[in-house]
């Protein structure tokens, strides 16, 4: 009789001010060393994997994400959870962190954004899961317009550009980047401007996901490369 548990875990990325963040929780446990961990938990018998992650995220962190996809199933290390054989189906999610109201809820003690470059040692194999998700984010940014899911609905071109620089850890030529993105015709000017403290006011832009989906069906490929 098989005795393997099935869990889901979510790597939720957020972005603010030239920094990529990941959402971590610290579980309530009496008198045990408390590690930070990815939000997640066991799947219920009558619940899809996707529903399970969504539920856990809601329960543990109170967030609803903009984008989510299955990342990888971690089940080759038999001792990844020291108590039982548990395999984890990990998900990769993106959120506009500016409009998010995180709060610890039923299951979790603390919820907090950590800069991806400064995450502590996590519970289980969650550091590995996070690294896998980070790699996925880096590569996905270059061939799908997922960066927009990390930004507010209306954003500055410079924010988009900085998001790419920050996450990909590369320099980008501002002019070429702008030209490239605009050539896709999936980002639209608004007639609004950001309230800025200094410098020339910057126009706000909006991603037209409807248009993108239409173009995608016709074979259009989003692609950003760098020198």
Which residues of this protein are in contact with its own copies, per CB under 8 A? 2-6, 42-50, 70, 72-73, 75-78, 85, 87, 89
Q: Which is nearer to its own copies, 78 or 214 (CB)?
A: 78
Are the CB atoms for 60 and 157 separated by under 8 Å? no
- Binding to DNA by CB under 7 A, coded x per residue (else -) over 158-197, reads x--------------xxxx-xxx---------------xx
Virtual torsion, Cα 22, 17, 104, 39, nearest 10 deg: -10
| Rounded Cα gap, residues 214 and 17, in angstroms | 31
Q: Which is nearer to DNA, 77 or 189 (CB)?
A: 189
Judged by DSSP in three states, 143 sits in helix
Candidates 32, 198, 217, 218; binder of DNA (CB under 7 A) is 198
Residue 200 binds which entry of its own copies, DNA, none, CB below 5-8 Å type-dependent: DNA
**Phi, psi at 82, each rounded to 5°:** -70, -20
Kindly state the tokens that stand for 115: 């800069």
Judged by DSSP in three states, 69 sits in strand
Residue 202 binds which entry of DNA, its own copies, none, CB below 5-8 Å type-dependent: DNA
| Rounded Cα gap, residues 59 and 57, in angstroms | 5
Residue 70 binds which entry of DNA, its own copies, none, CB below 5-8 Å type-dependent: its own copies
Please name the residues in contact with 36: beta carbons below 8 A apart, sequence gap of 6 or more. 24, 25, 26, 112, 114, 119, 120, 122, 123
Q: Which is nearer to DNA, 200 or 217 (CB)?
A: 200
User: Of the ranges 29-37, 104-112, 138-146, 156-164, which one interacts with DNA (CB under 7 A)?
Assistant: 156-164
Q: Which is nearer to its own copies, 77 or 173 (CB)?
A: 77
Q: Which is nearer to DNA, 64 or 173 (CB)?
A: 173
| Rounded Cα gap, residues 202 and 222, in angstroms | 25
List of residues contacting DNA (CB under 7 A): 156-158, 173-176, 178-180, 196-203, 223, 225-227
């Amino acid at each position: 009789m098989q005795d393997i548990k099935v869990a889901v875990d979510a790597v939720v990325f957020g972005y603010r001010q030239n920094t990529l963040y990941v959402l971590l929780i610290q579980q309530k446990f009496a008198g045990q060393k408390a590690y930070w961990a990815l939000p997640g938990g066991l799947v219920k018998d009558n619940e899809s994997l996707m529903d399970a992650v969504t539920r856990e995220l809601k329960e543990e962190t109170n967030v609803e994400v903009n984008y989510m996809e299955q990342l990888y199933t971690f089940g080759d290390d038999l001792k990844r959870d020291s108590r039982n054989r548990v395999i984890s189906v990990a998900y990769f999610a993106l959120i506009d962190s500016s409009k998010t109201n995180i709060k610890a809820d039923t299951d979790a003690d603390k919820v907090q954004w950590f800069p991806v470059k400064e995450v502590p040692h996590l519970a289980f194999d969650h550091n590995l899961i996070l690294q896998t998700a980070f790699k996925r984010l880096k590569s996905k940014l270059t061939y799908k317009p997922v960066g927009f899911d990390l930004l507010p609905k209306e954003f500055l071109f410079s924010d988009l550009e900085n998001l790419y620089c920050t996450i990909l850890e590369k320099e980008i030529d501002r002019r070429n980047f702008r030209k490239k993105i605009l050539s896709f015709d999936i980002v639209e000017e608004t007639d609004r401007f950001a309230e800025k403290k200094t410098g020339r006011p910057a126009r706000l832009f909006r991603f037209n996901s409807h248009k993108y989906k239409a173009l995608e069906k016709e074979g259009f490929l989003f692609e950003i490369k760098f020198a």
